[in-house]
Structure 1
Amino acid sequence: MASLSINNIDRQLYEELRVTADIRGLSIEDLACRILTKALEQNKCTDGLGTRIHKRFSLDGGVELDLPSR
């Protein structure tokens, strides 16, 4: 398994990680791996391009385009 070192973490963030890990019965490293995994899973895209475009514009109420006749 690979390892990762993170330098210059804000002290308050580190303390929040430490406390949260302790509450959940995890090490700070395990908690950080879970947080990173969850963040990356949210970015995974399983839809096609057309579906992603539709989702993006449907959030704003959609887009009506005038299509030229053939």
Structure 2
Amino acid sequence: MASITIRNLDDALKSKLRIRAARLGRSMEEEVRTILRTVLAEEDTSRNLGEIIHQRFAVLGGFDLPPIAREEIRDRPLFDDL
């Protein structure tokens, strides 16, 4: 297993991390591992733009568009008379 050292960590950030870890019943180290695992796992899932937009607005619910009135296909113009 590898280990890393994080230098120059802001005191406020460290405090938030300590509080979050305590609230979840974890050590600070375990909390950092969990956060890194979660964030990096999200990056691995490739979604296309359509899926991202759908997920963003799915909570609003869907709606139906009214049907569009269609005309019959017109005959192509004939230029034989020229």
Q: Distance in 2 between matches of 1:19 and 1:44?
A: 28
- Cross-structure match for 2:69: none
Unpaired stretches in structure 2, ≥5 consecutive residues: 54-82
Identify the structure with the greater helix proportion: 1
Normalising to structure 1: TM-score of the pair? 0.64
Unpaired stretches in structure 1, ≥5 consecutive residues: 60-70
AA paired with 2:24? R
After the TM superposition, list the runs of 4 or more consecutive aligned residues in structure 1 that deviate by more than 4 angstroms: 53-56
Q: Distance in 2 between matches of 1:18 and 1:45?
A: 29
What percentage of residue pairs aligned between the two structures are identical? 30
- Equivalent position SS for 1:15: helix
AA paired with 1:24? L
Assess, with a 3 A threshold, how the Cα gap between structure 1 residues 55 and 25 changes in structure 2: closer, same or farther: closer
AA paired with 1:28? M
Normalising to structure 2: TM-score of the pair? 0.55
Q: Distance in 2 between matches of 1:19 and 1:54?
A: 37
- Cross-structure match for 1:22: 22
- Cross-structure match for 1:41: 41
Aligned-residue Cα RMSD (Å) equals 1.8
- Cross-structure match for 1:5: 5
Q: Distance in 1 between matches of 2:22 and 2:11?
A: 16
CA radius of gyration, larger in = 2
Q: Structure 1 residue 23: deviation in Å?
A: 1.1
